[in-house]
Amino acid sequence: MEVPEFMRVMTLESAKQPLVYKTVPVPRPSAQEVLIKIIACGVCRTDLHIVDGELTEPKLPLIPGHEITGIVVKSGSEVRELKEGDTVGVPWLGYTCGKCHYCINGHENLCENAKFTGYTIDGGYAEYAVAHQHYCFPLDPQYANPSGAPLLCAGLIGYRSYGKISGEANRIGLYGFGGAAHILTQVAVAQGKEIYAFTSPGDTAAQRLAKKLGAIWAGDSTHPSPVRLDAAIIFAPVGNLVPKALTDTDKGGAVICGGIHMSDIPGFPYRMLWEERMITSVANLTRRDGEEFLKLAPEIPVHTETKLYKLEQANEALGDLRNGRINGAAVLSIA
Ligand SMILES: [Zn+2]
Ligand SMILES: [Zn+2]
């Protein structure tokens, strides 16, 4: 396929500064990489943590974005399973070493030498990106458009968080109802679970969306849960929600923190944790999570609620995400 010499991108030049719109050479794929013409790239809260300097080790300058859908337009000399014209998704996990203790034991999400798309390698706020052949997922054609982008992180992280909950758990609380929660609700409801959606106080748009997607109850996160929950997943980056979710959770229940960054968790009395309640976090993803979830999503089928922006509007999209002005997920529609 015809590939131009230059492409438009949004780059982070230094933390706490707006992204810069510019033109750079289209990258060349190395032997193990494919070059992808980007259809769309989701805007994730993690991007906001990177831009705001809360995640402190980005490559600079950096092209952010780790929820990429696109089409393979060129392959490196050692690429075997992908070919030109294939529709692929590129997630946050961009590379693992395969050799460290974590990789060998099936926990590649914790790899000591991992690289991350849109953080330590360039991502999808661009017209083209390169990605390692073994870290792209084939994508169902129904998601070869902006609606597919949020599956690549919001969908995957929600799914990994959901996997931490015991199969018997039936009443599940979701705290923070954005990209991840609106996808996970569809999966959980299809599997017969009861979803209780806790949103920022007064966010009636998110509460309406939760109910539309099948949540049994939706309300302010300051409100006590109407039932004792079997498990809770916190997607909002708000440490205060940890003791709140523990209070809402029944004996033996788990509270799962689904974000990469959270404000400090305040102290709380031990009796709130007592009776075998658990707190855990979810870090990154494994390729197995991706394969499982991207097979499941079209079967349900998962539909995403998106607010679309042009590439050059990435700063606006980040600002809207920061200020809670997005119902569902923000996506840069690029091609
Ligand atoms: Zn490793
Ligand atoms: Zn993300």
Note the pLDDT tens digit of each residue in 27-71: 999 999 999 999 999 999 999 999 999 999 999 999 999 999 999
Alpha carbons within 13 angstroms on the beta-carbon side of residue 36 total: 33
Instruction: Give dist(CA 206, CA 217) in Å, integer.
Output: 12
CA–CA dist 314, 295 (Å, integer): 29
201-215 per-position pLDDT tens digit: 999 999 999 999 999
Euclidean distance between the first and final Cα of the chain, in Å?
15
Q: Could you give the CA distance from residue 56 to residue 59 in angstroms, rounded to a whole number?
A: 10
Residue 153: nearest ligand to its CA?
Answer: 2
Question: What is the reported pLDDT for 17?
Answer: 97
Residue 87 near residue 294, CB atoms below 8 Å: no
Distance 282 CA to ligand 1 centre (A): 17
Q: How many angstroms separate the alpha carbon of residue 151 from the centre of ligand 2?
A: 10
User: Is the peptide bond prior to 226 cis by the omega test (within 30 degrees of 0)?
Assistant: no
- At 142, the amino acid letter reads Q
CA of 164 from ligand 2 middle (Å) equals 18
Helix H or strand E segment including 129: strand 128-132
**Residue 215 pLDDT:** 98
CA–centroid distance, residue 205 to ligand 2 (Å): 22
Rounded distance from Cα 43 to ligand 1 centre (Å): 27
- Share above pLDDT 90 across residues of the chain, in percent, rounded to a whole number: 98
How far is ligand 1, taken at its centre, from the CA of residue 112, in Å? 5
Please report the sign of the dihedral spanned by the C-alpha atoms of residue 14, residue 16, residue 21, residue 27.
Answer: positive
Among all ligands shown, which has an atom nearest to the Cα of 107?
Answer: 1
Convert the pLDDT of each residue in 149-165 to its tens digit: 999 999 999 999 999 99
User: Which phi and psi angles does 29 have, rounded to 5°?
Assistant: -70, 135
> CA-to-CA distance for 178 and 221, rounded, in angstroms?
13
Other C-beta atoms lying within 10 Å of the C-beta of residue 219:
19
Residues 282-328: tens digit of each pLDDT: 999 999 999 999 999 999 999 999 999 999 999 999 999 999 899 99
1 pLDDT exceeds 80? no
Query: How far apart are alpha carbons 177 and 196 in whole angstroms?
Result: 10
- Residue 282: nearest ligand to its CA? 2
pLDDT at 285: 95
Residue 266, preceding peptide bond in cis (omega within 30° of 0): no
Residues less than 5 Å from ion ligand 1, measured at CB: 96-97, 100, 103, 111
DSSP-derived 3-state class of residue 325: coil
Rg, C-alpha atoms of the chain:
19
Average pLDDT over residues 85-89: 96
Q: In 3-state terms, what secondary structure has residue 278?
A: strand
Rounded to whole angstroms, how far apart are CA atoms 253 and 228?
A: 10
Token representation of residue 265: 């968790």
pTM of the model: 0.95
The ligand placed nearest to the CA atom of residue 156 is 2
Q: Ligand 1 centroid vs 280 CA: distance in angstroms?
A: 22
Across the range 263-290, mean pLDDT stands at 97
C-alpha 169 – ligand 1 centre gap (Å): 32
The stretch 100-124 carries a mean pLDDT of 98
Cβ atoms of residues 79 and 34 within 8 Å: yes
Q: In the structure, what pLDDT confidence band is assigned to residue 2 with cuts at 50, 70 and 90?
A: confident
- pLDDT for 232 beyond 90: yes
Q: Determine the Cα angle at 329 with ends 142 and 69, to 5°.
A: 40
Q: What is the whole-number distance in angstroms between the Cα of residue 145 and the centre of ligand 2?
A: 18
Cα(150)–Cα(157) distance, rounded to whole angstroms?
Answer: 10
Distances (CA, A) of 12 to 15, 52, 112, 150: 7, 10, 25, 21
- CA 61, distance to chain mean position in Å, is 22
Tokens of 8: 């438009």
Ligand nearest to the CA of 109: 1
Q: Which residue has the higher pLDDT, 243 or 167?
A: 243
